[in-house]
Amino acid sequence: MKQSRSFALVLMVVAAMLVLASCGSPTTGTGDSTGAAGTAASVAAGGATASAAAGGTAASAAAGGEAAAGGGLPKVTKKDKYKVGFAQVESNGAWRIAQSESMKAEAAKRGYELIYTDATGSEAKQIADVDTMIAQKVDAIFLAPKSEKPLAQAVLKAKAAGIPVFLLDRNVDQSLAKPGQDYVAFMGSDFVEEGKRAAEWLIKATGGNAKIIQLEGTVGSSPAIDRKKGFDDAIKSQPGMQLLASDPSGDFDRDKGRQAMETLLQAHPDVTAVYAHNDEMAIGAIAALEQAGKVPGKDVIIVSIDGTRDALQAIIDGKLGATVECNPRFGPAAFDALERYAKGEQLPAKLINPDKFFDSSNAATEIANAY
């Protein structure tokens, strides 16, 4: 009886050892050569693949070995010439035209193939434009998103295809897509700071007493959201700065800005100041004020953002008080960032453009350089 029990115990131990040996075997067919360290990590993780032990990167075959493992950013192979996409949101004013021209000119200068699209203000078309660039297997995509939430999905689709994305002048919702993880970086201005600078100038120009109409940019876009925040936060501490209305229908467009101002003037004929989120809407507001018999620059003080040639001329003419520059000439910095990234440099989440400020003290001397 004792011999039988001893023999059974030996059989159980041998069986257990065989099971453990089977669980500890490295997975076959993965293409990894992790050695003993990889096997040990796999056992410790209950048989899971331990890519970190092998250096933390596993190439994506779908992207030609350029997509990073573990949900990391896709990589770019360093080479002399690149095929890149630029998904522009629209071309409805001087700022957008200047941005597109800068990107096209710099691509040509460097001998890059640039796939350029214009979404004409349509979220659906811009998403489709990104899909087309993915199908054309570009090396990278520069995207000026129409709005924060829908275009975050386009960023994620490009990432899944192994194509890195650089955001130009507008951001996406960072709860949906994160810099350094889903896209490389945001390149543009500090929109909150722009709104703050506009407010500070207006407070000084009006002595801290004004009845203000705010013309907002495209609903859901990061410039509109942040320029409003910067301005609103800055005037909160000024009891004499009264915000009569904040209208979101201007859409960064001159004629829509004029129409919005015409409507607002009927409800608020006592307005003494206008803050427009861009120069196009400010110029539209000037037209509406003049049509209503008011004198822009005297009856109503106006401040805006962008720094276009038309805005600087309006300052010289005494109709616009000031404009905060938002530099549209992205080409050199955008392609420099791509080349730095291709070399393996880790870029910051935000690459902020330096912006000037224009008023009556410098508009005449700066207009020659304006767009």
CATH number, position 130:
3.40.50.2300
Query: What pLDDT, on the 0 to 100 scale, is given for residue 71?
Result: 54
In a domain, 30, yes or no: no
Q: Which residues contact 309 (CB under 8 A, 6 or more apart)?
A: 94, 367, 370, 371
Domain identity same for 338 and 297: no
In a domain, 296, yes or no: yes
Domain identity same for 222 and 311: yes
Domain identity same for 224 and 336: no
Give the Cβ contact number of residue 38 at 10 Å. Answer: 20
CA distance linking residue 371 with residue 367, whole number of Å: 8
Domain identity same for 137 and 225: no
Long-range contacts of 313-320 (CB under 8 A, 24+ apart): 313/363, 313/367, 314/282, 314/283, 314/286, 315/358, 315/359, 315/360, 315/363, 316/360, 316/363, 316/364, 316/367, 318/360, 319/286, 320/279, 320/282, 320/283, 320/286, 320/296
**Residue 171 Ramachandran class (φ > 0 left, ψ -120 to 50 alpha, else beta):** beta
Q: CA 25: distance to chain centroid?
A: 46
In a domain, 236, yes or no: yes
Domain identity same for 275 and 313: yes
Smallest Cα–Cα separation from 202: which of 180, 172, 235? 235
Domain identity same for 205 and 113: no
Domain identity same for 161 and 222: no
Domain identity same for 150 and 251: no
**Residue 192 Ramachandran class (φ > 0 left, ψ -120 to 50 alpha, else beta):** alpha
Backbone angles phi, psi at 169, to 5 degrees: 65, -15
Query: What pLDDT, on the 0 to 100 scale, is given for residue 92?
Result: 85
Residue with tokens 């008011």: 294
Residue with tokens 């010439």: 81
In a domain, 358, yes or no: no
Q: Indicate the number of domains in the chain.
A: 2
Query: What pLDDT, on the 0 to 100 scale, is given for residue 58?
Result: 31
Longest dimension (CA), the chain: 115
In a domain, 29, yes or no: no
In a domain, 26, yes or no: no
Query: What pLDDT, on the 0 to 100 scale, is given for residue 52?
Result: 32
Backbone angles phi, psi at 257, to 5 degrees: -65, -40
Cα distance between the two ends of the chain:
100
pTM here?
Answer: 0.77
In a domain, 154, yes or no: yes
Domain identity same for 230 and 342: no
Domain identity same for 181 and 164: yes
Give me the amino acid identity at 46. G
In a domain, 77, yes or no: no
Domain range for 159: 83-188+329-353
Residue after which a domain boundary falls, among 326, 342, 361:
326
Q: CA 169: distance to chain centroid?
A: 5
Domain identity same for 97 and 202: no
* Intervals of the chain under pLDDT 70: 1-71
Smallest Cα–Cα separation from 95: which of 315, 334, 321, 311? 311
Handedness of CA 163, 164, 169, 170 (dihedral sign): positive
Domain identity same for 155 and 214: no
**CA separation, residue 78 to residues 185, 194, 225, 338 (Å):** 18, 36, 36, 10
